[in-house]
Amino acid sequence: MRRFIFIIVGVIVLLLAIWGWFQFYFVFGEGPRAGELNYIMKKGYVWKTYEAKIIQVGFKGASGSFQSNEFQFSVEDEKVAQQLMSSSGKWVNVHYREYKGALPWRGMSKYIVDSVISVSNSPSTTTLP
């Protein structure tokens, strides 16, 4: 009977470990995002993390009116955070990783920026045909 309970507890612990890895450490998606860097700040009660927001401009549906999209993210690397702090108000292109859940020591968002691709004063303008 003890062996049966030991096996059941072992399976439960293993399943919880797999779920935790998938929820908090498995990279669900990644890619670039571009927009105007609205703010970046270091905040938190126990774990101080860098939190930021990019404002993305786009078109909304058939009416053709402008819509403002926000991309809120966290930054783990202090060098990337310092680079973004010196670029506040500029057009930035960043690379991010998306996780299924957020960890308090990694940041408040499930989107984690790991590098800055480019920084410019204004977005590159291209004419549409």
Residue 21 counted as domain residue: no
In terms of Cα–Cα distance, which of 95, 94, 87, 96 is closest to 121?
87
User: Is the Cα torsion angle 105, 99, 93, 88 positive or negative in sign?
Assistant: negative
Beta-bridged to residue 34, according to DSSP, are 93
* Cα separation, 39 vs 81, whole angstroms: 11
- pLDDT tens readout for residues 16-71: 999 999 988 888 899 999 999 999 999 988 999 999 999 987 655 556 566 668 89
Q: What is the number of alpha carbons within 13 Å of residue 103 lying toward its C-beta? A: 14
Q: Which domain holds residue 66?
A: 28-120
Q: Report the number of distinct structural domains present in the chain.
A: 1
Q: Kindly state whether residue 10 falls inside one of the protein's structural domains.
A: no
Q: Does 105 reside within a domain? A: yes
Give the residue with greater pLDDT, 13 vs 127.
Answer: 13
88 phi and psi, to 5 degrees? -60, 135
Residue indicated by tokens 């800055």: 116
Measured between its terminal Cα atoms, the distance across the chain in Å is 75
User: Does 14 fall in a domain?
Assistant: no
* Residue 125: inside a domain: no
Residue 94 to residue 82: CA distance in whole angstroms: 14
Q: What's the CATH code of the domain at 97?
A: 2.40.50.140
Residue 101 lies in a domain: yes
78-106: pLDDT as tens digits: 999 999 999 888 999 999 999 998 888 88
Structural domain contains residue 20: no
- The answer, yes or no, to whether residue 128 has pLDDT greater than 80, is no
Task: Specify the pLDDT at position 113.
Answer: 95
Domain assignment present for 129: no
Helix (H, G, I), strand (E, B) or coil at 76: coil
The residue that leads in pLDDT, 128 or 113, is 113
